[in-house]
Structure 1
Amino acid sequence: MATFETELPRVLPVEGIPKFANPELARELRYVCSPRCKGIIAISEATRQIQLRLLEHFPREQAIIGPKLHVLHPPQPVLQEKNAVVKEGPVTFTFVGNEFYRKGGAEIVLAFSQLLRENVISSNDVRVNLVGDLRRTHNVAHQEFQDDAAFRVSVEGMLRECPIFRHHTSLTNDAVLALIKTSDVGLLPTWQETYGFSVLEMQACGCPVITTNVRALPEINPENAGWLIRCPLNPMLELTVASVSDKTLLRSAIVSQLKTYILQIISDSKIVSERAKNSLARICLEHDPMLFRERLNRIYMGFKTDKNKTFF
């Protein structure tokens, strides 16, 4: 058995060779086809779809591997039971992402700074915690169209000078969880993500999250439990940045939708309470560690009727 996040086998690209003509990929697929490989477990439905698209190029292997393919989302215990109480005072938002720029930290700074400049919110309305390393400037989703130093200087200047922001380069895991437990809304407007484990941790603390819609995020962050920033996706369920214009349009869409959700949250805190309750409910129903163990055991035991069922 093997659990995987993107596709199996995972073969790095070779310059000058089309992906599906790579002999290493064909060679490694033989191991997945082997009778000794009893099953492969996709971590999300998005991952299953990516695997199926890979197998479309290998019909013989698809016939063998397809019946072995399962979906099982990871376990997550509840970390804090929150009372759905509407409280007075500023709304606290929290972002956690070591790769600050890839995970959407810049877009968060832009969205809140623009709302402040437009005078539609005040510094008394919000507090924004950001945990991430500003030195991690490379954004894999941007490919060769990386942000320049002037952009980063501008973002980091706003982050440093605006009183609503509280930035930490890094915190221990316990400190991160303590921060989330005192937060109202989580933030992950990410450019690229294979799953989104931090979303599960936030939901498990009763903290609903604003995310983009890449890869597995719509599965784990349905709109009754959080807020989805909708962007156009490619067949890999990811964002495509093939030009500076693509990047600019996507950034504008992320920031614009983020601003809309921030204003909704500030104007009606009952929305937050309702989604906090639903976030905890979905963690209990769909990621309970005991249920995960049972479902994993059923896959290992070859429970035939659930071969192609999605297990949350």
Structure 2
Amino acid sequence: MRGIIITNLYPNPEQPNRATFNFQQFEHLSSHCELLVLVPIFPADRKINLLQSTSKLSKTNKVHYFKVPMLPIVGSLLNAKILAIWILIFKKPLIKAFSPDFILGSFAYPDGVAASIVAHKFGVPCFIKVHGTDINVMAKIKNTRKQIIKALTIVSGVISVSEALAKNVAELGFSRSKQTVIYNGINHKLFSPADRINARTKLGLEHDVKIILFVGNILVAKGAVDLAKAFISGVNNASLVYIGRGIDAEKITAMSGELKQDQSIKLIGTQNHVAIVDWLAASDALSLPSHNEGVPNVVLEAMACGRPVVATRVGGIPEVLHKNAGILVKKGDITALSAALNLALTTNWDPNKIASHSKQYDWTKNALLTFEYIRDRLNTTD
């Protein structure tokens, strides 16, 4: 079986750590079917060397990058159509030669909508994998909502990363019985419990200060600012470390003047997977107080490292965060978040018990379930 993946959520020459969850999933999926991965890069004027070899990135899949002149407007009515037209103009010979049995768009808009247009032109079944923001946010914007709903009327299947997300997709008109929920996996060889003191020594960190870690896009919507407020208002003798980047990083920096003498906030930018493992090992807790989510992989990875998670009760997080592995709070509740952070830092957690809960999230299992779902839907006439 042959499949084409269309997604901007994939590592590229400029952002080698981008959406590594998709990279890992499709690498494992390639053990069941031959894949061609088409990675659009927005906007088209970004100075990226697309001729850079991709062999170091993927050892199993054919990967093609291409720049697309997207409109810099969230929810633009034209972006999915522009992406589809670009693929049909510049990648048509490649697609015809590959002769796919299916096309999968990973992220509903613009990727999934564009994939449905391309698949329709080639007479090939289409699938969409939904992640979180695409349905929880993009599908609430009038222009994109209409296009996503239209795409859902013609696709053969939808892969959701959580039950909460599958429910939202069903509300858009695609029957839950035709969907599947497949949780993302974890690289357990990389993410596993490790000694905190050794990790801190390696990173040059103090041994006697509690560390709270945030990993992700530094955005208000991801709870990055809520976390800083909760930390400053009520967590003592501790350090808050942000890994990632985002347009709201300046807001975090501006709040540093409110810190008490025994508090610190550090923004260390984007880190690769290996470095994140060290930071998780060095931390006392991970916090991700998002306003909306699918299932953030960093929550799974923190559990795999035996570290408790303080997160918000949104999206698929309650589905994967076991009571023995963390604490859930209401989104936007700064007081509750502050109390939860203190509780997480003072509770005697069992790292091995936390890590054991993460074992069910596995990329090999994920890939097999994905393959079986696509295969079965291709053989279904409903």
Q: What's the TM-score bracket when you normalise by the shorter of the two chains? A: 0.5 to 0.7
In 2: Cα distance, 1:83 partner to 1:178 partner: 8
Structure 1 counterpart of 2:223, which letter? G
* CA distance in 1 between partners of 2:183 and 2:213 (Å): 24
Q: Deviations over 1:153-193 (max 9, x none)?
A: 75243369864333213333432332112212101112232
TM-aligned CA deviation for residue 284 of structure 1: 0.7
Q: Is the 8 A contact 1:203 1:209 kept in 2?
A: yes
**Letter paired with 1:4:** V
Tell me if 1:54 matches 2:180. no
- Is 1:256 the counterpart of 2:335 in the alignment? yes
Specify whether residues 259 and 66 from structure 1 end up closer, same or farther in structure 2 by C-alpha distance, changes over 3 A only: closer
Give 3-state SS (helix, strand or coil) of 2:221's partner: coil
The 5 Å alignment of 1:102-141 reads: 102-115=221-234, 121=236, 123=237, 126-133=238-245, 136-137=247-248
Residue 155 of structure 1 aligns to a residue whose secondary structure is helix
Residues 1:283 and 2:358 aligned together: yes
Q: Secondary structure at the match of 1:98?
A: coil
1:25-81 deviations in whole A, cap 9, x for unaligned?
Answer: 56434422xxxx2x32211101110011112xxxxxx5xx54421111111122343
CA contact (8 A) 1:93 1:127 kept: yes
RCO comparison, higher one (Cα < 8 Å, 6+): 1
Q: CA deviation at 1:279?
A: 3.1
Aligned to 1:219, which of 300, 311, 319? 319
In the alignment, the residues of structure 2 paired with residue 197 and residue 280 of structure 1 have an alpha-carbon distance, to the nearest angstrom, of: 14
Counterpart residue number, 2:192: 81
- Deviation string 1:177-227 (CA, Å, 9 cap, x unpaired) is 321122121011122323312212222222221111111111122322211
Give the TM-score taking structure 1 as reference length. Answer: 0.64
Amino acid at match of 2:128: A
The CA distance in 1 between the partners of 2:150 and 2:214, in whole Å, is: 42
Counterpart CA distance in 2 for 1:262 and 1:12 is 32
Q: Secondary structure in 1 aligned to 2:172?
A: helix
- Is residue 166–residue 176 contact of structure 2 (8 Å, CA) maintained in 1? no
Match of 2:180 in 1: 70
What per-residue deviation string (whole Å, max 9, x for no partner) do you get for residues 227-276 of structure 1? 11124xxxxxxxxxxxxxxxxxx3xx1x21122122223433x1x22xx3
Counting matched residue pairs gives: 239
CA spacing shift, 1:258–1:25, aligned 2, 3 Å: closer
Percent of pairs with identical residues: 19
Correspondence for 2:372 among 293, 298, 306: 298
The residue aligned with 2:162 is 44
Distance 2:222 2:149 in 1: 33
Distance in 2 between residues matched to 1:94 and 1:49, nearest whole Å? 31
Contact 1:84 1:277 in 2 (8 A): no
Amino acid of the structure 1 residue aligned with 2:248: T
Native 8 Å contact 2:167 2:176 kept in 1:
no
User: Given the superposition, is the C-alpha separation of residues 294 and 129 from structure 1 closer, same or farther in structure 2, using an over 3 Å criterion?
Assistant: same
Q: How does 1:182-193 map to 2 (within 5 A)?
A: 182-193=282-293
| Structure 2 residue aligned with 1:244 | none
Structure 1's 47 and 171: CA in aligned 2 closer, same or farther, altered over 3 A? same
User: Structure 2 vs 1, CA of residues 27 and 292 (structure 1 numbering), >3 Å: closer, same or farther?
Assistant: closer
8 A Cα contact 2:196 2:281, kept in partner: no
Task: Indicate which of 277, 286, 304 corresponds to 1:204.
Answer: 304
Q: CA offset at residue 106 of structure 1?
A: 2.1
Distance 1:153 1:267, change over 3 A: closer
Bigger mean CA offset, 294-303 vs 189-198? 294-303
Checking the alignment, whether the CA contact within 8 Å between 1:80 and 1:181 is kept in structure 2 is no
Instruction: Report if aligned partners of 1:109, 1:158 keep a CA contact under 8 Å in 2.
Output: no
Q: Which residue of 2 aligns with 1:230?
A: 330
Q: Check 1:111–1:14 CA distance in 2 against 1; reply closer, same or farther (3 A cut).
A: closer
- In structure 2, the partner of 1:28 is 151
TM normalised by structure 2 equals 0.53
Matches of 1:163 and 1:194, distance apart in 2: 31
Alpha-carbon separation, structure 1, partners of 2:242 and 2:209: 16
Matched AA of 2:372: R
CA distance in 2, matches of 1:81, 1:205: 4
Quote the residue 1:265 is aligned against: 344
Picking from 101, 115, 133, the partner of 2:220 is 101
Residue 275 of structure 2 is matched in structure 1 by 175
CA distance in 2, matches of 1:159, 1:174: 30
Give the unaligned 5+ runs of structure 1: 56-61, 139-148, 232-249, 304-312
Q: Distance in 2 between matches of 1:114 and 1:165?
A: 13
Please give the root-mean-square deviation of Cα atoms over the aligned residues, in Å: 3.5
Structure 1 residues 197 and 52: CA distance shift in structure 2, 3 A = same
Distance 1:207 1:26 in 2: 39
CA contact (8 A) 1:109 1:159 kept: no
